[in-house]
């Protein structure tokens, strides 16, 4: 834990007009947390607007309040004229086109659960033990700011928790998460509807992309590492939504022997995004950190300024070395 939630609550009490933002490739945790916080601040008589640094996927359309969310396209005029910016679910450097604005002197409040975030701004709270940023936002709203939780806030926070726990399946699912989820359902969040929107609401093209992606599935000779490759051409004119990473990377991680699942995604001819999912004490955030990225122990990512093939060769070689030294350590060698 870094910083304090009380300090964050104090900063929020002190200001009146907020802009809330999150990371590029927005996911249910970042967007659900942002909308819930926006609704809570408005319920407390403050002004708040959510601004996403990247377009939102179709999956987000069911979230209450999503229609008021703006997407940053280089210009926002008076929307940027606020008392403070709340950056949640990431460090300010991951806010894409909004980074220069965040460095312009506007007060920043940072709330996150990524262990690789050291905390930024005049008030921050980084809690890596939190399964989702939504868990921290729940504590902030219900316990610190003591704003009554409405159904729209609960629906957003439930989506946030569901998103980052793989709907309560991943190793970050614990009794605290399930307790909060239960409270959110009591306030009107709908588990079945949330799952339907998150997992069974894809366009045909998105499922067709999974088919093409599966064709690229590979595995290491030892069977401990498996990866999938998304070429730019596979996307056509479509925009990649953060939710699709989960759709695709689940396949290499499904394999019994795999300790490290990787997805390579070509962003531009010489920019490659890499996603990691791990288990059995393999620290994915450490591997991502070697390439300037970060994240959590079992889910992390980075972006390399390299063509796809070059990035693949470098990452696979590095990861194989780490897996080999880890298994040598575990066998006492
Ligand atoms: P994904 O692979 O789905 O993009 O991300 C997995 C996890 O790692 C998420 O929690 C995400 O926020 C984090 N992550 C992904 N890419 C980066 C990165 O470049 N830097 C940092 N610090 N975290 C990342
Ligand atoms: Mn998150």
Concatenating the DSSP letter of every residue in 280-324 gives TT--HHHHHHTTT-EE-SSEEEEEESS-HHHHHHHHHHHHHHHHH
User: What separation in angstroms does the CA of 169 have from each of 114, 162, 178, 299?
Assistant: 19, 9, 11, 14
What pLDDT score was predicted for residue 133?
Answer: 98
Of ligand 1's atoms, which has the minimum distance to the CA of residue 284? 8
What pLDDT score was predicted for residue 83?
Answer: 98
The 10s digit of each residue's pLDDT in 60-83 is 999 999 999 999 988 878 888 999
* Residue 299: φ, ψ to 5°: -150, 120
C-alpha–C-alpha distance, residues 300 and 282, integer Å: 11
How far does residue 294's CA lie from ligand 1's centre (Å)? Answer: 6
Domain count of the fold of the chain? 2
Instruction: Kindly report the protein residue whose alpha carbon is nearest to atom 6 of ligand 1.
Output: 300
pTM comes to 0.93
23 Cβ closer than 6 Å to some ligand 1 atom = yes
Strands of the sheet with 84-88, listed across from one edge: 2-3, 123-126, 108-112, 84-88, 17-21, 47-52, 70-71
Together in a domain, 264 and 285:
yes
What pLDDT score was predicted for residue 212?
Answer: 94
The 10s digit of each residue's pLDDT in 148-163 is 999 999 999 999 999 9
Together in a domain, 162 and 105:
yes
C-alpha–C-alpha distance, residues 137 and 79, integer Å: 23
The 10s digit of each residue's pLDDT in 249-293 is 999 999 999 999 999 999 999 999 999 999 999 999 999 999 999
Together in a domain, 14 and 158:
yes
Q: Which residues contact 112 (CB under 8 A, 6 or more apart)?
A: 87, 88, 89, 90, 91, 124, 125, 126, 127, 133, 136
CATH of residue 311's domain is 3.10.310.30
- pLDDT band, residue 241 (cuts 50/70/90): confident
Instruction: Kindly report the protein residue whose alpha carbon is nearest to atom 7 of ligand 1.
Output: 300
Question: Average of pLDDT values for 307-319?
Answer: 98
301 Cβ closer than 6 Å to some ligand 1 atom = yes
Together in a domain, 130 and 236:
no
Together in a domain, 12 and 86:
yes
293 Cβ closer than 6 Å to some ligand 1 atom = yes
Structural domain including 213 reads: 204-330
245 Cβ closer than 6 Å to some ligand 1 atom = yes
- Residue 126's CB is within 10 A of a number of other CB atoms, namely 21
What pLDDT score was predicted for residue 120?
Answer: 98
What pLDDT score was predicted for residue 333?
Answer: 53
300 Cβ closer than 6 Å to some ligand 1 atom = yes
């Amino acid at each position: 834990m870094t910083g304090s939630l009380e300090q964050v609550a104090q900063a929020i009490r002190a200001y009146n007009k907020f802009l809330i933002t999150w990371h590029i490739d927005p996911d249910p945790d970042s967007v659900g947390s942002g909308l819930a916080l926006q609704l809570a601040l408005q319920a407390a008589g403050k002004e708040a607007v959510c601004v996403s640094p990247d377009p939102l996927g179709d999956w987000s359309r069911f979230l209450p309040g999503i229609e008021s969310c703006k997407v940053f396209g280089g210009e926002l005029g008076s929307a940027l004229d606020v008392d403070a910016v709340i950056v949640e679910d990431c460090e300010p450097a991951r806010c894409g086109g909004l980074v220069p604005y965040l460095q312009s002197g506007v007060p920043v409040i940072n709330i996150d659960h990524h262990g690789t975030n050291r905390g930024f701004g005049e008030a921050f709270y980084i809690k890596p033990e939190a399964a989702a940023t939504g868990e921290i936002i729940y504590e902030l709203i219900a316990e610190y700011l003591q704003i009554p939780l409405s159904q729209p806030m609960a629906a957003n926070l439930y989506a946030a928790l569901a998103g980052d726990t793989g709907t309560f399946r991943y190793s970050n699912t614990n009794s605290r998460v399930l307790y909060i989820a239960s409270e959110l359902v009591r306030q009107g969040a709908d588990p079945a509807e949330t799952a339907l929107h998150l997992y069974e609401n894809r366009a045909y093209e998105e499922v067709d992309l999974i088919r093409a992606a599966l064709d690229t599935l590979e595995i290491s000779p030892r069977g401990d590492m498996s990866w999938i490759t998304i070429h730019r051409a596979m996307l056509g004119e479509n925009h990649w939504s953060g939710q699709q990473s989960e759709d695709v990377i689940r396949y290499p991680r499904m394999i019994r022997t795999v300790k490290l699942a990787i997805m390579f995604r070509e962003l531009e001819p010489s920019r490659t995004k890499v996603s990691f999912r791990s288990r059995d004490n393999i620290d994915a955030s450490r591997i991502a950190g070697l390439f300037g990225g970060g994240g959590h122990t079992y889910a992390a990512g980075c972006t390399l300024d390299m063509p796809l093939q070059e990035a693949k060769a470098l990452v696979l070689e590095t990861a194989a070395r780490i897996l080999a030294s880890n298994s040598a350590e575990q066998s006492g060698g």
